């Protein structure tokens, strides 16, 4: 198998170009971390949304962060097929389902069905749901910034 050439970035990361924007986003990220959701769950959610959006930059960094949060290689390998993997808790499954629904907004008439939200609410209180919602939204924002500007996996800002 031969490696293919990755196209160069179209520009520096927008967070570097406009550092005030990155500071603001990192502030929201820190607030999302304060909601009481385990960091490992947030990392799994980040990986799943990044997989859906095809963000190599976020996947690369997300795997590193997830490992630092204590995630095992087996669980990281299973995130893309979490429904068929028995290694996730019910709460993690609810968070992953919410991440998928909130990322795939145009896939169905009711993007985040009550059943998905209600399952999340069974496992997470309101501050935790706020944390997950912010985390998913920020992941999608970062995915869109990085994919649009073609930030290569492993690049540093």
> How far apart, in whole angstroms, are the C-alpha atoms of residue 36 and residue 127?
7
Phi and psi angles of residue 132, each rounded to the nearest 5 degrees, phi first: -60, -45
Alpha helices in 54-125 (DSSP H): 56-68, 73-78, 90-103, 114-123
pLDDT for residue 157 is more than 70: no
Helix (H) or strand (E) holding 135: helix 126-148
pLDDT beyond 60 at 110:
yes
Q: pLDDT tens across 92-104, in order? A: 999 999 999 999 9
Confidence tier at 2 by pLDDT (50, 70, 90): low
Render pLDDT for 27-70 as a digit per residue (tens, 0 to 9): 999 999 999 999 999 999 999 999 999 999 999 999 999 999 99
Q: Which domains does the chain have, with CATH numbers?
A: 37-148 (1.20.1290.10)
């Amino acid at each position: 198998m031969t490696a293919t050439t990755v196209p160069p970035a179209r520009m520096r990361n927008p967070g570097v170009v406009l550092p005030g924007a990155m500071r603001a986003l990192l502030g929201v990220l820190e607030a999302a971390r304060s909601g009481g959701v385990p960091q490992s769950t947030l990392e799994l959610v980040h990986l799943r949304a990044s997989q859906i959006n095809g963000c190599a930059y976020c996947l690369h960094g997300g795997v590193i962060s997830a490992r630092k949060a204590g995630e095992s290689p087996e669980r990281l390998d299973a995130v893309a097929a979490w429904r068929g993997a028995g290694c996730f808790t019910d709460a993690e499954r609810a968070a992953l389902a919410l991440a998928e629904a909130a990322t795939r907004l145009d896939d169905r008439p009711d993007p985040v069905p009550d059943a998905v939200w209600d399952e999340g609410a069974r496992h997470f209180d309101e501050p935790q749901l706020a944390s997950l919602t912010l985390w998913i939204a920020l992941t999608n924002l970062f995915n869109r910034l990085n994919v649009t500007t073609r930030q290569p996996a492993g690049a540093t800002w």
